[in-house]
Structure 1
Amino acid sequence: MSRVCELTGKGPMTGNNVSHANNKSRRRFLPNLNDVTLMSEALGQSFKLRISAAGLRSVDHRGGLDAYLAKAKDTELSTAALKIKKAIAKAQEAAA
């Protein structure tokens, strides 16, 4: 399982561990990923996603999964999130 947020595309970054003696060794900064279940109002269904804590705050800020995916760029989303986005768009189009 890759360490990439399914909604924001946030992944591992690299940097240095710096000791008191200023010795430097390479390290990885991993994103804070959580397994969450988000509800889609348009589909009336819940989806399990692996997203970062910052991504979860963004979903809450935009007003839920449907609103977040409507504004999200397709290049940042995972394949599972893209399928959900297209299903939501289709359901909203049919309802209108």
Structure 2
Amino acid sequence: MSRRCDLTGKGPMSGNNVSHANNKTRRRFLPNLQDVTLMSDTLGRSFKFRVSSAALRTVDHRGGLDSFMAKAKDAELSPEALKVKKEIAKASA
């Protein structure tokens, strides 16, 4: 299971731990991923995703999974999320 958000594509970043003596050692900044179940109003069913907390706030801000998927870029979505996006677009058309 990769450490990548299914909806935004956010993944690990790298940086430095900096000590008081200014010694630098490499470290990883991991995204805050949560396993969530999001409901699609158009399809009337729910989907499980591994989503960062920032993406979860964005889904709420945009008004739900359906409106988030309408504005989401295909390159950022995981293959499972891309299938859901196409199902939602087909059902709403």
TM-score under structure 2 length normalisation: 0.99
- Name 1:87's counterpart in structure 2: 87
Local SS of the residue matching 2:75: coil
The CA distance in 1 between the partners of 2:45 and 2:58, in whole Å, is: 20
Cα deviation code 1:49-85 (max 9, x no counterpart): 0000000000000000000000000000000000000
- Name 2:38's counterpart in structure 1: 38
The CA distance in 2 between the partners of 1:72 and 1:91, in whole Å, is: 17
Where in structure 1 do 4 or more consecutive aligned residues deviate above 3 Å? none
The CA distance in 2 between the partners of 1:86 and 1:40, in whole Å, is: 12
Local SS of the residue matching 1:34: strand
Local SS of the residue matching 1:35: strand
Q: CA deviation at 1:7?
A: 0.3
Q: CA deviation at 1:19?
A: 0.5
The CA distance in 2 between the partners of 1:13 and 1:69, in whole Å, is: 25
| Superposition pairs of residues 1-96 of structure 1, within 5 angstroms | 1-93=1-93
Structure 2, unmatched stretches of 5+, are none
The CA distance in 1 between the partners of 2:51 and 2:34, in whole Å, is: 6
Local SS of the residue matching 2:35: strand
Identity of counterpart residues, as a percentage? Answer: 75
Question: Aligned residue pairs: how many?
Answer: 93
